[in-house]
């Protein structure tokens, strides 16, 4: 007998439509929503449906942190904007397509939904740790049991460590260690690459001089066949 079973469940999954990119206003409305509804949304799974086309990945990261502080759990996003889709994937969140409208010709028992395999959907992630301040030389930042999002510069000599993925949305120097608990599926995304050392699950590469093909570019790093793979995106 198998020790693990997978069953389809019908659970309450809330969709939060975001019509603005003003995080201060969003923070106030979310706080009010949480207070007015008592424990209804406490630890509730939420999909963020991004309606404002101007919302950036940095603002999305702040929004996720705001929801976390209000005891809501962001499990994924729904958006057509590639920057936000990339952020969601790198942060371990699911990416949902357009809402599926049920056909009236079929009963609920007849409906079947085909899904594309997604490794992220089979994992349980905590909300990512978000660091908004600059990480200075000789500072150390660590995210235990979660992914890590960096919204500001990482200076030379800094050490960045995460059990999961790392997403850096400014220039990243210093040393970045993802999957420090041995997770070989961890990834690192850097908006402006200038790192001194990159490591995933203990496999590392040191840079005395960053190659021109990587320097100041958006770079995605993962493991392929046990070796670090650097992709300019």
Query: Are 153 and 82 part of one and the same domain?
Result: no
CA 157 to chain CA centroid, Å, is 25
Average pLDDT, the chain: 82
- 222 lies in a domain? yes
Residue 199, domain CATH: 2.160.20.70
Q: Could you give the CA distance from residue 169 to residue 178 in angstroms, rounded to a whole number?
A: 16
* DSSP characters over 44-81: EEEEEEE--TT--HHHHHHHHHHHHHTTEEEEEEE-S-
Residue 62 φ/ψ region, left for φ over 0, alpha for ψ in the -120 to 50 degree band, beta for the rest: alpha
- 8 lies in a domain? no
How does pLDDT run across 8-47, given as a tens digit for each residue?
455 567 888 999 888 888 888 888 887 877 677 777 788 8
- 1 lies in a domain? no
Residue 86, domain CATH: 3.30.70.260
Query: Helix crossing, 82-90 with 57-69: angle to 10°?
Result: 50
Mean pLDDT of 60-65: 85
How does pLDDT run across 112-134, given as a tens digit for each residue?
434 444 343 344 546 788 999 99
Q: How confident is the model at residue 178 (pLDDT cuts 50, 70, 90)?
A: very high
Query: Are 85 and 156 part of one and the same domain?
Result: no
The owner of tokens 């209804």 is 40
Per-residue tokens: 1: 């007998």
Query: Are 140 and 210 part of one and the same domain?
Result: yes
- 149 lies in a domain? yes
Mean pLDDT of 95-105: 59
Structural domain harbouring 165: 129-232
- 113 lies in a domain? no
Note the pLDDT of residue 61: 84
The owner of tokens 């499990």 is 75
Per-residue tokens: 66: 């705001």
How many structural domains are present in the chain? 2
- 123 lies in a domain? no
- 189 lies in a domain? yes
Query: Are 140 and 184 part of one and the same domain?
Result: yes
Query: Are 71 and 157 part of one and the same domain?
Result: no
- 63 lies in a domain? yes
């Amino acid at each position: 007998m198998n020790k693990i079973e997978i069953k389809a469940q019908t659970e309450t999954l809330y969709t939060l439509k975001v019509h603005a990119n003003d995080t201060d206003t969003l923070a106030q409305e979310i706080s009010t929503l949480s207070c007015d509804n008592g424990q209804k949304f406490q630890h509730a799974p939420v999909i963020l449906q991004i309606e404002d086309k101007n919302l950036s990945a940095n603002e999305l990261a702040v929004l996720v942190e705001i929801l976390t502080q209000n005891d809501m759990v962001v499990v994924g996003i729904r958006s057509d904007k590639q920057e936000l889709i990339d952020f969601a994937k790198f942060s371990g969140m699911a990416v949902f397509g357009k809402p599926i409208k049920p056909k009236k010709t079929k009963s609920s028992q007849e409906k079947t939904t085909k899904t594309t395999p997604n490794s992220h959907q089979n994992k349980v992630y905590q909300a990512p740790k978000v660091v908004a301040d600059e990480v200075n030389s000789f500072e150390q930042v660590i995210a235990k049991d979660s992914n890590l999002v960096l919204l500001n510069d990482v200076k030379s000599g800094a050490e960045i460590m995460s059990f999961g993925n790392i997403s850096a949305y400014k220039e990243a120097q210093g040393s970045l260690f993802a999957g420090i608990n041995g997770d070989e599926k961890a990834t690192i995304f850097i908006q402006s690459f200038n790192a001194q050392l990159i490591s995933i699950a203990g496999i590392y590469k040191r840079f005395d001089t960053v190659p021109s093909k990587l320097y100041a570019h958006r770079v995605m790093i993962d493991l392929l066949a046990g070796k670090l793979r650097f992709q300019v995106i």
